[in-house]
Amino acid sequence: MDADFSHNPLYLKEIIKNLKDNDVVIGSRYTNGGSIKRWPFWRKFLSKIGNLFAAFVINTKINDLTTGFVGWHGLILKKIISKKITTNGYAFLIELKYLALNNNDRIKEIPIIFTDRLNDKSKMNKKIILEAMLFCIKLLFNQFLYNKRKNN
């Protein structure tokens, strides 16, 4: 979770409760009941489009692939980080969820209200956005190659 209280610690109780029946619990801004406060329109738009693109590429119904507010069972997280993680930034958040999906881990989204920080600035920049896009394109390309080999 973000340490600047953009992620309200009150949601931790709900995340922990849901970890009893799930391997990964995502605090989602984009599931029913979730929202974002104090972001300008362009930032919400960019985030939503990025999440839709990533979900399309990795073929998932997860609504919030770029959130960092996630509860993990320890063994599941240990298994995932034992693999070679290749990304940083938002791409890292997408990659972790992608690896969990590939492990067939039980994933659940719960709604949260994300409130942008009052002090300090976001670390979001063009390089971070580009890395996330390129990671998704790489996954799409790898899936294409896999399907092509499988069909030959």
- pLDDT at position 72 over 70: yes
Asked if 46 contacts 40 with a C-beta cutoff of 8 angstroms, the reply is no
- pTM of the shown model: 0.86
- Kindly state the DSSP code that residue 35 receives in the 8-state scheme: E
Q: Which helix (H) or strand (E) holds 72?
A: strand 70-72
CATH code, 9-151: 3.90.550.10
Locate the domains of the chain by residue range: 9-151
pLDDT over 90 (residue 71): yes
Give residue 122's pLDDT band: very low, low, confident or very high (50, 70, 90).
low
Instruction: Report d(CA 79, CA 73) in Å as an integer.
Output: 10
Averaged pLDDT of the chain: 89
C-alpha to C-alpha distance for 18 and 4, rounded to whole angstroms: 24
Q: Residue 123: which pLDDT band, with cuts at 50, 70 and 90?
A: low
Name the pLDDT band for 118 (thresholds 50, 70, 90): low
Torsion, Cα of 16, 33, 24, 140 (10° steps) = -170
